[in-house]
């Protein structure tokens, strides 16, 4: 009898355990319990154990990133500058299996986010945030104030950028709410973004055109980000266009004749920026800065770059720019505008999945000759030379220079959706097509000043 009773008791315990397990799965939530405690954080004692821990970690994070996870608390915390590397490294968690993602160079990201060395932060402030669930990073965001922007536009706009997260609305809301709260505490009434960290850097959320890798210094993100942003109360502020130009579509005898006539009538010539003579290079950089600040001043969101900011940017671009693709247009001997185009080195860096410096240099050296696209980053003509045909001459000239080196495609980006002159010139003269669209979002942050128990929020299941 004792044996039967013990057997019956064991059977009842087994049945209760099965019911408990079925209950866990009953609401469509698939839970896996991994009884390893904090061992993932402890040193493994053997190669086999390290492999086992790595596999378990991947399973655990995979469950989080695909929204099939247990009911776990979500926390969003502000992190100090000393943890910037953790913030940077977090980006790799969200793109492991995305073939189109181009890993940023970690060295460049550290320089960009260094509040002591990047001159942008002499008039701006930034706070980095990380979202965590069950010890795993599930998102990140930066909140940014830009005093020069608000002084220029007489508003109280704060910004967010460097956003990444798993596909979960609660995570997105928690991150955006925390950024909005931080901005509201500093007197902002609107949150705008994404910008990384300003409009003079990578800007906009990709909302259309996910069929390939981004072009140099353009953003890339999963398609689900737009839905997350809208669910968190963000709405469209402005769209930014990327145009694809192909030599076969715009090149024609008629265009060649027209550009030739314009060049002759307006006495249009071109002059390369001098990269070899240090003194002349600085003079050219100063001239470009002056033109940039004058030509772009009427544009939405534009903020003049300080001398330090411009020199900081020029020093970076000099490392990757080709003198053949950075030049001035002159009308009757006077500088009227300029163009800056860069070879799409992302075609090389896409192979550098780690973001390391050595790997980046290696792939640039071994694959640069295969690059077949230029990105026209900046093309501007001073207001007094509008209508002279200088802009068309610049587009035509950069196309010819690229063709001489076997580059027959270009991306002109980004262009504001309501920049009538630029859009018309690209579509009508250059026969270009919008092939990618990026969006800047706004959100009123008055409501974000309400108390929110962010530390107790739980992700959607």
Q: Are residues 303 and 401 in the same domain?
A: yes
* Domain co-membership, 286 together with 416: yes
352 and 412, same domain (yes or no): yes
Q: Give the mean pLDDT of the chain.
A: 86
Q: Which residues, in sequence order, are CB contacts of 342 under 8 Å at separation 6+?
A: 216, 217, 317, 320, 321, 322, 325, 374, 375, 377
pLDDT band at 160 (very low <50, low <70, confident <90, very high): very high
Residue 211, pLDDT > 50, answer yes
How many C-beta atoms surround the C-beta of residue 315 within 10 A? 10
Question: Same structural domain for residues 324 and 448?
Answer: no
Same domain, 163 and 132: yes
Same domain, 159 and 89: yes
Q: Is residue 127 part of a domain?
A: yes
222-231, 254-263, 309-318, range with greatest mean pLDDT = 222-231
425 lies in some domain:
yes
- Is 120 inside a domain boundary? yes
In terms of domains, do 305 and 176 share one? no
Q: Is the residue at 6 inside a domain?
A: no
Among residues 443, 442, 409, the alpha carbon closest in space to that of 242 is found at 409
Where would I find the H helices in 26-164?
47-65, 84-89, 106-112, 147-153
- pLDDT at residue 427, rounded to an integer: 94
Position 89 in a domain:
yes
Structural contact between residues 118 and 312, judged by C-beta atoms closer than 8 angstroms: yes
- Looking at the fold, whether 173 and 195 belong to one and the same domain comes out as yes
CATH number for the domain that contains residue 128: 3.40.630.30
Domain total in the chain: 3
Q: Kindly state whether residue 423 falls inside one of the protein's structural domains.
A: yes
pLDDT of residue 437: 98
Q: Are strands 202-203 and 235-246 parallel, antiparallel or unpaired?
A: unpaired
Domain match, 167 and 291 both: no
SS3 state at 319: coil
Amino acid 4: pLDDT: 45
Give pTM, 2 decimals: 0.82
- Is 414 found in the same domain as 426? yes
- For the stretch 92-120, pLDDT in tens is 999 999 999 999 999 999 999 999 999 99
- At residue 449 the predicted structure's pLDDT band, cuts being 50, 70 and 90, is very low
Q: In terms of domains, do 59 and 92 share one? A: no
98 lies in the same domain as 216: yes
Q: Is residue 12 in some structural domain?
A: no
Inside any domain, residue 121: yes
User: Range of 294's domain?
Assistant: 245-440
Q: Per the structure block, which two tokens stand in for 348?
A: 């090389």
End-to-end CA distance of the chain: 47
Residue scoring higher pLDDT (10 or 191): 191
For the segment 174-188, the average pLDDT, to the nearest whole number, is: 98
């Amino acid at each position: 009898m004792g044996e039967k009773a013990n057997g019956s008791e064991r059977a009842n315990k087994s049945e209760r355990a099965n019911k408990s397990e079925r209950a866990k799965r009953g609401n469509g939530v698939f839970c896996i319990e991994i009884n390893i405690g904090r061992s993932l954080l402890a040193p493994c004692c053997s190669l086999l154990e390290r492999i086992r821990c790595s596999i378990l970690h991947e399973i655990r994070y995979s469950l989080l990133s695909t929204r099939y996870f247990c009911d776990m608390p979500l926390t969003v915390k502000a992190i100090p500058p000393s943890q910037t590397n953790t913030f940077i490294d977090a980006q790799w968690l969200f793109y492991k299996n995305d073939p189109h993602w181009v890993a940023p160079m970690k060295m460049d990201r550290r320089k960009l986010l260094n509040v002591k060395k990047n001159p942008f932060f002499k008039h701006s402030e930034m706070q980095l945030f990380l979202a965590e669930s069950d010890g795993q990073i599930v998102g990140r965001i930066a909140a940014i104030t830009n005093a020069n922007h608000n002084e220029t536009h007489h508003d109280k706009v704060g910004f967010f950028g460097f956003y990444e997260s798993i596909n979960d609305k609660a995570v997105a809301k928690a991150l955006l709410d925390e950024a909005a709260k931080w901005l509201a505490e500093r007197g902002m009434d609107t949150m705008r973004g994404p910008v990384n960290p300003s409009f003079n850097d990578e800007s906009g959320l990709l909302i259309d055109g996910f069929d390939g890798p981004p072009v140099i210094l353009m953003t890339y993100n999963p398609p689900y980000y737009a839905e997350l942003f809208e669910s968190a109360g963000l709405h469209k502020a402005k769209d930014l266009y990327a145009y694809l130009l192909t030599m076969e579509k715009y090149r024609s005898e008629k265009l060649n004749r027209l550009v030739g006539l314009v060049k002759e009538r307006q006495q249009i010539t071109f002059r390369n920026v001098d990269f070899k003579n240090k003194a002349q290079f600085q003079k050219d950089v100063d001239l470009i800065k002056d033109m940039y600040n004058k030509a772009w001043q009427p544009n939405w969101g534009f903020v003049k770059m300080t001398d330090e900011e411009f020199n900081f940017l020029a020093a970076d671009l000099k490392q990757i720019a080709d003198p053949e693709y950075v030049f001035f247009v002159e009308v009757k001997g006077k500088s009227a505008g300029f163009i800056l185009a860069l070879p799409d080195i992302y075609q090389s860096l896409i192979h550098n999945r780690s973001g390391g410096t050595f790997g980046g240099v290696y792939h640039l050296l071994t694959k640069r000759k295969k690059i077949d696209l230029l990105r026209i980053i900046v093309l501007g003509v001073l207001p007094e030379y509008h209508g002279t045909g200088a802009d068309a001459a610049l587009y035509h000239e950069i196309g010819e220079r690229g063709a001489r080196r076997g580059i027959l495609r270009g991306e002109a980006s980004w262009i504001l959706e309501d920049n009538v002159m630029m859009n018309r010139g690209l579509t009508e003269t250059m026969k270009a097509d919008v092939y990618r669209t990026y969006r800047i979002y706004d959100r009123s942050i008055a409501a974000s000043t309400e108390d929110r128990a962010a530390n107790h929020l739980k992700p959607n299941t």
